[in-house]
Structure 1
């Protein structure tokens, strides 16, 4: 293991519920009240995917002009929501600090657009990351491998030397397609994970990186997880 790449929403920060707020509101404006099952289809996807999915559930046919119109609304609403603050997932940002101090390069790879990533990075700690790749900076977002492949190139490491930590099936598929080792940390209940993906709960019996019995996670813990994937 020569580097670690992290997803952002739902993995490092507890922003998935906030994305849910904007998604439900947008769908209502489109004329449909999403069910939780329908909302789950959008988890981890790009803004374009989320908008197209909501349009289809609303009985409308997505087209580039319509998607761009809703994207403007969606990004503006998410900017408002994120400006109100957000919570970290358990164990962060202290864990990022410890891994950084151990000399292991870290990347942030997200489907979120750069304009919204820049709302979050200063709070998360952009000094911890060797690089970050936003969803609108690659030709194809997750579940395609472009983001993780780009991060590996920027860190000058082979994908098979990189541990990726993801909460969504979309992101897990992207990381695996890029050739990285993948550890799942799903937060949303009932998500169907890609076949063969191992989770933190499966390997350690916990669902987050909160300190265990008062002991924080260390880089050796991640090396052990790496060896089991």
Structure 2
């Protein structure tokens, strides 16, 4: 008898599993001050879930300094965030418990993030790499969220149909990526409100009350439909 779904659970990282958006905000704010300016709340919120290129475009536009080199800024921020990740990274409430339950049940898991590999490796010291069968970072794909490629890549690596997967996301950009890939999505918005709706999108205030039983029944295993 085929076990209840999902075929796999695909986890976003920043803001979903770990309270890292706060740390990104610290680093970006510090860089803005080094540039003699101040990062506005509006620009910071617009950055959440976006690519590195878009983040620094927004930063430089916000500061009125479009001539700044995004590559040097990105290097500075990556170094600072690595320091913060190593010393101040914490789990989001309920995230570790959900991940532990999913792993104990033998459901395949993937980490699907827009963060680069070097910082993900630091974060995995907290998250534990053995919690994930597949890790897809910004360095592993040619197109990033909101493009569906990251989630399609994770599903392919796991050998599962993305329509049988549940993705867990916190940002509109990530939600759009997972929905476009065909996943059912549990959205746990943190900093940015989610206004999207749809049959495959399920909003929760956080992960404290989300358990494997919550995920089961949202999707049927892909194998059961073939």
Same fold (TM over 0.5): yes
| Number of matched pairs | 214
Q: Residues 183-216 of structure 1: CA distance to partner in whole angstroms, max 9, x if unpaired?
A: 110011x524334374433xxxxx2222x5xxxx
Alignment of 1:73-84 (within 5 A): 73-84=76-87
Cα distance, 1:96–1:72 mapped onto 2, change above 3 Å: same
Structure 2 residue 178 is the aligned partner of structure 1 residue 193:
no
Deviation at 1:72, TM superposition (A): 1.0
Find the aligned partners of 2:94 and 2:172 in 1 and give their Cα distance. Answer: 22
- Give the aligned partner of residue 25 of structure 2: 20
Structure 2 residue 37 is the aligned partner of structure 1 residue 32:
yes
Q: Secondary structure at the match of 2:106?
A: coil
Find the aligned partners of 1:195 and 1:102 in 2 and give their Cα distance. Answer: 29
Cα distance, 1:162–1:62 mapped onto 2, change above 3 Å: farther
TM-score by length of 1: 0.86
Structure 2 residue 142 is the aligned partner of structure 1 residue 149:
no
Stretch of structure 1 that moved more, 158-167 or 88-97:
88-97
Q: Residues 85-142 of structure 1: CA distance to partner in whole angstroms, max 9, x if unpaired?
A: 3111112323212111111101000001000000011321211211010112211211
Q: Residue 16 of structure 2 contacts residue 95 of structure 2 at CA under 8 Å; is this kept in 1?
A: no
Structure 2 residue 108 is the aligned partner of structure 1 residue 113:
no
TM-score by length of 2: 0.87
- Give the aligned partner of residue 182 of structure 1: 185
Alignment of 1:65-80 (within 5 A): 66-80=69-83
Deviation at 1:20, TM superposition (A): 0.9
Find the aligned partners of 1:134 and 1:51 in 2 and give their Cα distance. Answer: 19
Give the one of 130, 135, 140 matched to 1:137.
140
Deviation at 1:61, TM superposition (A): 3.0
Q: Residue 189 of structure 2 contacts residue 206 of structure 2 at CA under 8 Å; is this kept in 1?
A: no
Q: Residue 56 of structure 1 contacts residue 62 of structure 1 at CA under 8 Å; is this kept in 2?
A: no
Q: Residue 32 of structure 1 contacts residue 57 of structure 1 at CA under 8 Å; is this kept in 2?
A: no
Cα distance, 1:75–1:165 mapped onto 2, change above 3 Å: same
Give the one of 208, 217, 225 matched to 1:224.
217
Deviation at 1:148, TM superposition (A): 0.8
Find the aligned partners of 2:197 and 2:76 in 1 and give their Cα distance. Answer: 35
Structure 2 residues without counterparts, runs of 5 or longer: 1-5, 221-226
Q: Residue 27 of structure 1 contacts residue 34 of structure 1 at CA under 8 Å; is this kept in 2?
A: yes
Structure 1 residues without counterparts, runs of 5 or longer: 202-206
Q: Residue 188 of structure 2 contacts residue 206 of structure 2 at CA under 8 Å; is this kept in 1?
A: yes
